[in-house]
Structure 1
Amino acid sequence: MAGLSLRCGDCGALLKSVEEAQEHAELTSHSNFAESTEAVLNLVCNSCGKPCRSKTESDLHTKRTGHTEFVDKTSEAAKPISLEAPKPFASAEPKEGVEAGESSQPEEMVVPEVDKNLLGELEAMGFPTARATRALHYSGNGSLEAAINWVVDHENDPDIDEMPMVPGNTKVEASKPSLTPEEMKIKAQELRERARKKKEEEEKRMEREKEKERIRAGKELLEAKRIEEEFERKRILAMRKAEKEEEKRAREKIRQKLEEDKAERRRKLGLPPEEPAAVKPPTPVVEEKKSSLPIRPATKAERMRHCLRSLKQNHKDDDAKVKRAFQTLLTYVGNVVKNPNEEKFRKIRLNNQSFQERVGSLTGGIEFLEVCGFEKIEGGEFMFLPRDKVDMVVLNTAGSELNSAIVNPFFGVL
């Protein structure tokens, strides 16, 4: 099939005639042309009749005018291209003394001349010298953007990093800038502005990374502090538990001593000894908490009285505060007795300000609730009485002890 156009081997452009190829070569210094069976498009706008040589031109025309209807007349205008005119890339006429038809000497191939400033900028951006030279040469040696676009379009070419060569006798003039000095200044200002914005974006990105690192370090510090506080809380609870056990043992010794004194007094008075069933169990009762047997209410009552005595003795100078604490505890116990299935009456927030003022900050208040069956949960934030551990006998005993402490003016004095 006859050739319908000339294709530039350097940039891929299709040209209608030899004259167009010659103009293209003068503008771009491209010299690699070949015949192509692909015709140059002839898309005619239905609205204004403007012909467009490519799909890109038709898209640009649509954006500028809004016209979207085109007629493809490529087949009507397609004619075999005439190659009679001399090709723009053909070598100069034979010199005098060289007969027509006689083969000339092989031409010397040299590296094309390109804009040194643009070449330096491309090399500063990290492009190899050969790739930068090839990009400037084949993009027309006009601007930095055109060279970069050419590299992006041809980065997969096998010879992308080979130095381009042109005939030595073809004097490649230094490419004339396609922009005026004022436009060059504006362009340079735009490039500097882009570089500045890129630097600012990089600084912002680094700042974001630093902020993320600061947040992560802060979270780790808070977590370490929380673990340390939790450990300290557990240590204090363990100390309190040991103190309570020591107090229990001391009370048991006192109770045993009282029992012995009582038996001695009965003996001196000539009274018969108490029946064994009426005698309170000795030391093993203290260890009942460790066994699976339930704790007798009498032992619970003693612990409750001890908590209430401690509360009154530690705050004996403020009777109103002590009485308010007793009444608050009586309210908590009474609510559970009346509504054992309601969770809101069986759960107390320890950091509640009202609770702290009335009970939590007073010695013996929280211990009294623990004797009633309340347990600390969620890291010590709440006290909770599970439904299956609601013991009405224990709660009624607690109510009786609180009533006695409220109405007895001599409670805790001795």
Structure 2
Amino acid sequence: MAGKSLMCNDCGARLKSVEEAQEHAELTKHTNFAESDEPILSLVCTACGKSCRSTTERDMHKVRTGHDEYVDKTSEAAAPLILEAPKANDDVIMSEAGGSQEEMVVPEVDENLLKVLEDMGFSKAKAIRGIHYSGKSDMEEIVSWIAEHENDPDIEEMPMVPVSAKKSEAPKPKLTPEEMKLKQQELRERARKKKEEEERQKEREMEKERIRRGKELLEAKRIEEENERKRLIALKKAEKEEEKRAREKIRQKLEEDKAERRRKLGLPPVDPAPTVPTPAPVVEEKKISLPVRPATKAEQMRECLRSLKQSHLGDDTKVKVAFTTLLTFAKNVALNPDEEKYRKIRITNDKFQERVGKLKGGIEFLELCGFERLEDGEHLFMPREKVDKAVLNAAGTELNSAINNPFFGVL
């Protein structure tokens, strides 16, 4: 059976004539060709009449145009392959007298197609090469040919053909100005849609990344809130233990006062045995040995407040005013960190000295919150970059506990 096509064994391309095989060899430097009895497909689009030579070309056309109905005319177009390349006339290619080679010139192409391709950004050499070697008058097929041969080493070189070949070329149909304008508009619209699709894909990827980061932030926030909740539970437990021990000490003090009054009145003393809780110290000592985050700034603040109250046990009003004033300072800075007036305190102020400055531990508590003494010795100042809301919130928690707990600092 006679062959109906040629196959390039180097890249798998199917060619319908010896001329196409020669052009393919010149462009790709492939030399391994074999005859095949399978004809080149001829799939004609019923919508626009375009002929596709392979299923791949058909699929590309379907993606670009949306046309999905084709008529297979392969059997009509198939013909035995002519393996002998057309012989050129000896007196045209090589002169018998001088043996000189025929002159090579740039092939003539449709000027309208050339202008459209140049307007689209293709170089003149690339545009002429695409029009000439594709052998097509359809702009879409020419652009497809250029895209397929984009990596060819001579794609930017001007194609050259013999003068006789140039003269023998049949005139190719030219597009009317209206058709050329429609083709150009169609290509621009296709490029615009492709760009919009790429932008939508990029936006989808950015949205996925934003959702992922949001989930990570929420998880980190949940963990932080859980740790804070555990810390507050431990603090409340420690406060209850402290209150319990304070109550026990007051009860013991009342028992001692009662025994002293009975002694002064000459009454027999009561049995002191019940007043001495034997197992209590051991149990309490074990419970106190479970603090959360020992030596933290919150515990330093609590110790400072406890020292302030113990230094002024006889004046609860003054202690409460000091605690309230310190709470106001911490709250103002936490709510207005950008306001300098809340981050600067004049310690020589008479009211400040009366409420906080003269009390032991008052200024030390403010320094634990982040205030620093200035060189003039008259002011406390907290720099904006050193405002720590976590520390200020801890200070507020300790001050509220000291104000509301009647047994705070009794021990």
Same fold, TM-score > 0.5, yes or no: no
* Largest Rg, 1 or 2: 1
**TM-score, normalised on structure 1?**
0.42
TM-score, structure 2 normalization: 0.42
